[in-house]
Amino acid sequence: MIALARWTARIVGSLIVGLLVLFAVGQGFDPTQFHGIELGMIVALLVALVGMVVLWWREGIGGAISLTGMIAFYGLNFAVAGEFPGGPVFPVCFLPGLLAVGCAYVDRSKQHLKET
């Protein structure tokens, strides 16, 4: 079961990173056109994406980085719009981080039980 969660986190995270990279390249992403809160939201989203890449090697750290970026993204969006982002896409972006942190927690718990 833990292997399924681990691979789901990796695959979903990779798909999210890949899709956002494709969108950015296809749209001619230029980070210099963003200022203020928009730039903060882009940075928060990039932090989440970096976390999704890191969780391939370090689940706990990568998951925490990904969740931190997504929470910051949601917080900044709420500060500007007074509501959280809509639609099904952004909530799915929490999934890799949640699964990775959960897997790291279970692994650490198992390791702790073996030591005692």
Structural domain includes residue 103: yes
Q: What distance in Å separates the CA atoms of residue 53 and residue 38, rounded to the nearest whole number?
A: 23
Low-confidence stretches of the chain (pLDDT beneath 50): none
Q: What is the pTM of this model?
A: 0.88
Question: Any residues with CB less than 8 A from the CB of 68 and at least 6 apart, and which?
Answer: 47, 48, 51
| Structural domain that includes position 80 | 2-22+36-110
Number of domains forming the structure of the chain: 1
pLDDT of residue 90: 85
pLDDT of residue 111: 76
pLDDT of residue 82: 87
